[in-house]
Amino acid sequence: MFFVKSLNLRLKVLLLSNASFIILLLGIAIGIRQPILQRFAWLEQEIMQKKLVRVADRFVQLVEMLDSSAKAETIWTEMYVYMEERHPTFYRDTYSFEGMAISIIDVFGMLDRKGNFIHLDWIDRRSQQLKPLPEPSRADLLRARQLISFPEDCNLALRDSRNLAIIPTTDKPLLVVSRPILTRDATGPHRGTFLMGLFIDGKFLTQLEKYNNLELELTPISSVKSSNRNLSNIATNISNIVQISPDIRVLDKEWIMGEIYLLNGDRQPIQILSVRAPRLEYQQGEKTLNQLTGVLFIVGISLNIIISLLLDKSIRNQQLLKMSEVALQVANQELQKLANLDGLTWIANRRCFDQFLNQEWTRAIRERHPITLILCDIDYFKSFNDTYGHLRGDECLSDVARAISLAVRRSSDLVARYGGEEFAIVMPNTDLEGGMLVAQAIQEQVRNLQIEHTGSSIGSYVSVSIGISTLVPTQGIAPEALIEQSDRNLYSAKQQGRNQIAFA
């Protein structure tokens, strides 16, 4: 009878505690989960917008490469003479498939001063020949020649003159850059126009995808109605042929999408470049919340078990002790993990850096491998704090820490906050060349942040100075030698004007 009464009491207590725990979980799910997920969704939108800017910037870089190639063809004497005399062998001797195929271009040609085409060829890489541009596409360029040629009586500053347009052709859109044909010293009068073009197709998209973990798809704008609807919200102008839509759409749990508009010479949209990216930030937020819920669930179950053990101490005493030991071990592991992290940036702290460097130094001595150390310092960070305040300064440190972590991709490397506005990257089994590649990637990631810094004497945005050193450790050399060498190189980078990479 006593056992039954005790059992009933135990069940009552367990049922009450379980009900309380379920109510607590529901309260957390309703009151906390959605606001947190919403913040992750906002973060996701901001990051996606930055990715769109990077894709558009890469597009503009391709344009500049095209323009540089066109400019090189227009300011040499032989070309200038040819446009006047039209010697029949010049074009054949100068432009061959082998010479043109190594460039990124697909189409090139020449127009006289009146805007009439003298040559208009495309590079057929499949047959390995230069061929006249097919008639439908040639007709499209003829209709658009006022966008790419220069007037006969042009009085502009010809040295820096260029035309830039996306022309819809029968086959596919053609990005065209043209420049006036001038003398060697880039003076006039001009004797015609030289153009180079790049088809915006799968090969072109591969160029854009190369530097981003993204999926790109190019589609024509199908109707004026949809075009007007989208363009009404265009917020970002990258150049006179590229505009970014601020409307970012969530496709499903896995993907998010933004759009970049490609404009023709009249600045009207003719193509939509759809950019899809995995929802890594949002998925990480969901994962974190699920882990938090799981931890709370485990804590609640543990409390119920403890209550049960207290009601039946004589039977459950051994299990209670075992669970206490497990809980203590988990807590110690969590404390150890937190002890190695910087509380502001959530990367490794100085203590973790020292331990990791000593550990890898010993390993490098044993295996006779090089070890590279990169020290980064945010330029004019004191001025940044004085200008924007310490809260913005903390945000800047966190953003730069994340940018550095993105640039350092190997799991065997360590990114740590070295102190103040300094960061350190330890790269085991890495030579100086590998360290330089990572340093350049760090500077690129920090530039992509575009954190405004009006207090900087070298630019409008936050930048970093970097010192790199590489050693093959031996028994007679301490890790401090590597640190001192990197620190000297960092000082040298600052002396050279900041936003530099110095190495030895």
Give the amino acid at 261.
Y
Backbone angles phi and psi of 258, in degrees to 5: -130, 175
**Ordered structural domains, the chain, with CATH:** 2-65+281-322 (no CATH), 75-204 (3.30.450.20), 350-503 (3.30.70.270)
Chain length of the chain? 504
Handedness of CA 73, 75, 81, 85 (dihedral sign): positive
For residue 454, give every residue at least 6 positions away whose Cβ sits within 8 Å of its Cβ, in sequence order, or none: 387, 460
For tokens 């150890």, what's the residue?
336
Confidence (pTM): 0.48
For residue 38, give every residue at least 6 positions away whose Cβ sits within 8 Å of its Cβ, in sequence order, or none: none
Active site residues per annotation: 421
193 beta partners: 111, 180
* Residue-by-residue pLDDT tens, the chain, 504 positions: 444 444 565 566 666 666 776 777 666 666 677 777 778 778 888 888 888 888 888 888 888 888 888 888 888 888 888 988 888 788 888 888 888 888 888 999 999 888 889 999 999 988 999 999 988 888 888 888 877 888 777 655 566 778 888 888 877 888 888 888 888 877 778 888 999 998 888 777 776 766 567 888 877 775 434 444 444 444 455 567 788 888 888 888 888 888 888 876 667 777 788 888 888 777 777 777 777 777 766 776 776 677 666 666 655 655 556 666 665 676 566 666 667 899 899 999 999 999 999 999 999 999 999 999 999 999 999 999 999 999 999 999 999 999 999 999 999 999 999 999 999 999 999 999 999 999 999 999 999 999 999 999 999 999 999 999 999 999 989 999 999 999 999 999 999 999 999 997
